[in-house]
Amino acid sequence: MNVRSKLWEDYNPLISLFVHVFLAMFDFQYGPFERIPASSNETPYDCASSPDSFRVFYDRLLVKEPTRVLDSYLRAPDIPLFLPPLLFTRLDQPTMYCFSSRFRMNEYVELENNSQQHPYHRKERKSYAMFINFGDPIPSAAHPGALQAITSLGPHTRKLAHDVEKLFRRRPIWGKAALVHSLNWKRVRECAIKTILPAYAYYVPNGPWGRVWTVDYRVRSPRLQAKLCISGRRPRADDREDTDPSGSDMDEVRDTSIVDAALAAMRSGESPLLVHASSKSTSAFRFSKTSWPDARQILYQLVDIEVPEVMEMLAAPIILCFIGSWMSAVSDVDFAELPQPYPMTQPRNRRAFIAYKAGLDSGRNYSDPVTTENFGVVCEYTAAAINPNPSCISVQRFHHNGRPQMLVFGSSRAVCLAQAVNNDIRVFRTLSGHKEAVTCVTWIDSFKGPTITRFHSLIVSASTDGEVKLWDAGEDSQRELFSFNVATSVISVHGCYTDALETQLLVCAASQDRIIGATLKLTLTDGVASAADMMGEQFCLKLKSYSCLALRLVCLTGPLVLLFAGMTAGCLEVRIVKPGEASIFLAGTLKGHVDWLNCLDCVKMYLSGEVDTSRVEGDHVLLATGSQDKQIRIWHIQLLEGKDQLPNEKGQLLRLPTLYLTKHRLIARLESVLSGHDNWVTGVAWSPVPWRPMSCPQLLSSSRDKSLVIWAPSQPLFPSVGADGSGDEEAPDIWLEQVRFGTVGGNSLGYLGCAWGNYNSEVYGHGFWGDLSTWSVNSEQRVTLTGHFKPVTSLSWCRETIDGAPLEPPPCFAYPPYLLTAGQDSTVRLHGLFYTGGSGCSPPVRMWRELARPQVHGYEMNAIVSLDVVRYVSAGDEKVGRVFSATSGFVKSLLSDATIAAHPSLQTLSTIAVQPALGLSNQAAVEEEEEESGDEEGHAPLSDPLYPPTESVLAEATLWIETDKLYGHSYEVFTLAAHPKGCLVASACKAAKQEFAQILLWRTDNWQIHQHLFFHRLTVSHMRFDGSGDRLVSVSRDRMWALWKVDGSASDDFPTFKLHKHSQSGKNAHSRIIWACAWSPDNSTFLTASRDKQIMAWNGESGERVGPPWVLSEAITAFDVGPEISRHDAFFATAGFETGGIELLAISLTKSTCQSMWKMPADWTHMGLPVRCLTLHSLDSESVALASGGDDGIVRIFRISPSTLMESMASVG
């Protein structure tokens, strides 16, 4: 530690004025300071003289960096040992700041009361460690902030966290010193260990476990905790709720108090007597890997340090301790082994399953934050697909301490931000602003390299209408800073800072026939960009014969900004840009590819203290280019001092502007050609780990051959450069394939792009169908990010019935089992809550994921409706409706064994469904095909998943079986509705004449046509049965509604309907297409919503309009009604608009009012595109779930509290 001289301006830090000799190791948490006697004539430099004053000598103290082994000068046998504290904080203290206000000595408080300055001021940092007193309840899980920190560490620190987890598998209690020592790492950073520990354990400051830093969260059962407090027994690795002990371990857990009482009796020779641990007085026992200390043993941190020197000293029968040290001078302790070892080697296994199967508290769902004062609405899920463009994903290259990297991608018109939560990547925020589909996005790299910690970053995005936007994106806030336009659709975009203060930014965008660049002046507020303005002129480079498909900017010394442009001619153009000027200079053209240059990426070398900078002169840039010729070329760009090229320098000499020509030279040479892909190379990405002269940079590539490959040189590109500058400059380097990821077979078209994730420990590849596939670097496939890549047309919550009887949901589970979504991407997707807990995922969380893809069709999907838990009916853009049934594998993963056993129909389902080649119907596989499919695919059984299904599993192994086809319509089926009892299904098709606009009712027992209903003249747009199933309302393009009622003489099992009432054209009717209809909660009234911006209520018997129409601000395209709002004379409703907005309404029929409770913020809307479907589901008396889908292809699930919205609205009013 350097000597600090803040208080003495004339102090020479190289001269030590005082020497402090300590006879024992002190704890410097609270100082160090010393008392100055009142009789002393000495005046302290940092406080006024007083009868009782103190002097802090922190600034005058030179301390050797602590080590994990005892130094030679500390081996005196009469000194009580304690490892030197790191950074002057208590070694076992889990806080992240210098002084802990919670544990403050009286003397230091007195020092503060005398208005004396702290010797060392450090800004307080957040600590998510939990302090648990001896009598407090044990926490069931770590703080969410600690978990977010542990899931976002760099690869080196993540390995440290993995080793810490291994130690906790061995035993649940550790002193921090012993834990650090047992890691066997050459060097452990204090900030790293302090970030890791709170995620795995909590801190006990007092009681018999006093100063025991860590107790594993697995020890969390209240029943076991009560026994531990009574008997004084130490927690063990098998003290957890998810353990399945057997044999002797089972017997021990059943009678833990008897075991401990027997041990106590064995030691004392007396009858067992249970006493409270805090009052127990025994000798101390050695804390080793195979035995546990007694209750008071952990008070003595000394014996918890498994250092050889300490263990030798412990062999002595008596240890002498000084007064005022860590142990009383009268304490004579005999150390011995415990008479019986305890088992402590059972690891924590990962637990993962579909949440509905077991049922958990619905309040544990992970939700998206939103900057609003209204807490009645929470977005729990956003499913969004990546636009099919090569440059449409990007990952931050900043290394945040305790913050996960953010992935940004374009989805329709939205810019989506995704983050990893418990190793589960999910969309947590969407940015709205673009008016057309986003084509490319990129993060702006720091000027000083990727090692700089930044909590805010800049994003550049562009769209098909030529609009380029600059965003400031942090974890908590995002905002648009600047935008400019390009004439045509943008193909690629990039930007770089041009000054070290990061106040100037150069942004370039490439379209079909030009490259446009703009220099922006950033306004910084507290180090964060708050505004941006154009600086100087834009430059515009018009391309004549070829187009630019990819570009990158890099700023070298000067500043000299290089623009690399990959052309359809197969060449790479290197240009020099002058920030703020309209001119652009062509430095040269690098040739080699023989087909279109699809992608490129560059990485700049940052020198460090490990080499002499004089040995590695100039600026160095590695550039990777990928082409349709299936090859990757690595180029080495060097900016060196001196005008002329040296004889031993290889490569092409590029031209420089006159300003640099006399002092510098720019050289480009081909480093390597990589041939490993069998199809077009679509993406390349350099590893975010900083490239140093002595390191081997890694390159990730993607291809249409369905593979991702990591490449790296066999040795550093500067192998000859050491600390002394010696070495062989001609040492060859060969770029080799390190790891290959991807899929074999299937119908996928390969990957469009790639990126590194999770601080170089994961790789991403996004496909042509909008999916994001994730692998760890050890080839383990991770959670997939999926969504519809075309408009969503229909939604349906699962009906909780089986065989016509209600399904009893699991306890504490409010949501339906799943949500079905249909889209114009020809797929039906099933979304549900997935539970993840166990190793690496503590505390357990539930997140919405895509759990199955029951239907992959050849036609665009128009409608879907759920019949029960295992059946649904769908309608594509064809004349046929199709009925699907779940497979037994899915049912086993969704329902409990008891539920399956209680319903015989669930036990006869087929195991797997397959889709024949060139066919549209999913068929049940025969036994031989099931075995062959399981052997070839190697997919984990759906009944016992450890992770949500990956993209390849979703596309091939989660299909449902098509059981029936519904023939009867003359044109494409447009809408569906299901009877609440599940006995009938209503369908209607597109129609331009009345004879085709009929409604067909289908019996669900034999799927025969039950009835034809004629009234409408044009396409029926929506239908809805009431809650009892006695009435059906339909609305149409003809601006009319029809009310159908059950004929009283008909059978109850399959009722027959007849036209009861219908609307009349005129001033009391809708003037535009009626898009939606719904019934009120009491089924007395039905409501219609139209493109004319009006909502009308109609009496369910007389057909008369109830009150005046309610006019909203925009054209309505989707509408649904929810339950009554508790404590209010109104019911809940929601409307979706043609412009993508969603409005929450409170409708009172008695008062004839329709109040707007809240409008969804822009980031939660459907980005200016029509909302096609809304569906509500009541969760409990206070909350309701809303699912929305629109033409942007995004599906969202909200949890809404209507009563909270009403109360907040009343308070504002």
Give the CATH number, domain containing residue 570.
2.130.10.10
The torsion angles phi and psi of 1176, rounded to 5 degrees, stand at -110, 150
| Cβ–Cβ under 8 Å, residues 360 and 813 | yes
Q: What per-residue confidence (pLDDT) applies to 186? A: 62
Q: Residue 684: helix, strand or coil by DSSP? A: strand
Burial environment of residue 880 by CB neighbours within 10 A (0 to 12, 13 to 18, 19 or more):
middle
| Cβ–Cβ under 8 Å, residues 1126 and 1182 | yes
Structure tokens at 692: 């140093």
Q: What per-residue confidence (pLDDT) applies to 422? A: 64
Give yes or no: residues 1129 and 1166 share one domain.
yes
Alpha-carbon dihedral angle through residues 74, 78, 80, 82, given to the nearest 10 degrees: 10
Identify whether 1042 is part of a domain.
no
Give yes or no: residues 119 and 160 share one domain.
no
| Cβ–Cβ under 8 Å, residues 426 and 847 | yes
Identify whether 1018 is part of a domain.
no
**pTM for the complete prediction?**
0.73
Residues in contact with 808: Cβ distance below 8 Å, sequence separation at least 6, in sequence order: 899
Identify whether 987 is part of a domain.
no
Residues in contact with 462: Cβ distance below 8 Å, sequence separation at least 6, in sequence order: 438, 439, 440, 441, 468, 469, 486, 490, 493, 509
Give yes or no: residues 94 and 166 share one domain.
no
Asked which of 87, 106, 125 is the last residue of a domain, the reply is: 125
In sequence order, the β-bridge partners of residue 213 are none
Identify whether 1057 is part of a domain.
no
Alpha-carbon dihedral angle through residues 990, 996, 997, 1003, given to the nearest 10 degrees: -100
DSSP state, residue 583: -
Q: What per-residue confidence (pLDDT) applies to 39? A: 56
Residues in contact with 1173: Cβ distance below 8 Å, sequence separation at least 6, in sequence order: 792, 793, 794, 795, 1118, 1136, 1187, 1188, 1189, 1190
Identify whether 148 is part of a domain.
yes
Q: Residue 314: helix, strand or coil by DSSP? A: helix
Give yes or no: residues 157 and 120 share one domain.
no
Q: What per-residue confidence (pLDDT) applies to 268? A: 39
Q: What per-residue confidence (pLDDT) applies to 221? A: 35
Identify whether 832 is part of a domain.
no
Number of domains in the chain: 5
Range of the domain at 1146: 376-384+1070-1213
Q: What per-residue confidence (pLDDT) applies to 710? A: 94
CA distance 677 to 631: 7
What angle do the packed helices 155-170 and 190-200 form, to 10 degrees? 50
CA distance 214 to 239: 15
Q: What per-residue confidence (pLDDT) applies to 374? A: 60
Location of structure tokens 């949890």? 1199
Asked which of 937, 967, 997 is the last residue of a domain, the reply is: 967
CA distance 224 to 786: 42
Identify whether 582 is part of a domain.
yes
Give yes or no: residues 342 and 411 share one domain.
no
Give the closest residue to 485 by CA, choosing from 469, 470, 505, 506: 469
**Residue 791 CA, distance from chain mean position:** 24
CA distance 16 to 651: 55
Give yes or no: residues 496 and 628 share one domain.
yes
* Triad 109, 113, 119: Cα angle to 5°: 70
Residues in contact with 586: Cβ distance below 8 Å, sequence separation at least 6, in sequence order: 573, 574, 575, 576, 655
Q: What per-residue confidence (pLDDT) applies to 149? A: 77
Give yes or no: residues 416 and 448 share one domain.
yes
Strand order in the sheet with 984-989: 973-978, 984-989, 999-1003, 1009-1013
3-state secondary structure 246-274: CCHHHHHHHCHHHHHHHHHHHHHCCCCCC
Give the closest residue to 1042 by CA, choosing from 1068, 1067, 1017: 1017
The torsion angles phi and psi of 222, rounded to 5 degrees, stand at -60, -35
Asked which of 125, 147, 164 is the last residue of a domain, the reply is: 125
Q: Which amino acid appears at position 893 of this protein?
A: S
Residues in contact with 630: Cβ distance below 8 Å, sequence separation at least 6, in sequence order: 675, 677, 678, 679, 680, 681, 703
| 843 prior amide bond cis, ω within 30 | yes
Q: Give 306-352 pLDDT, tens digit per residue.
A: 444 444 444 443 333 332 233 333 334 333 333 333 322 233 456 77
Give yes or no: residues 635 and 757 share one domain.
yes
Q: Residue 215: helix, strand or coil by DSSP? A: strand
Give yes or no: residues 446 and 556 share one domain.
yes
Give yes or no: residues 114 and 132 share one domain.
no
Give yes or no: residues 380 and 397 share one domain.
no
Q: Which amino acid appears at position 712 of this protein?
A: A
CA distance 163 to 181: 12
Residue spans of the chain under pLDDT 50:
1-17, 22-33, 43-52, 56-124, 206-213, 219-348, 362-363, 369-373, 401-402, 453, 610, 612, 721-729, 731, 839-842, 928, 932-941
Identify whether 326 is part of a domain.
yes
Q: What per-residue confidence (pLDDT) applies to 297? A: 31
Structure tokens at 879: 């004349």
Q: What per-residue confidence (pLDDT) applies to 155? A: 74
Give yes or no: residues 12 and 147 share one domain.
no
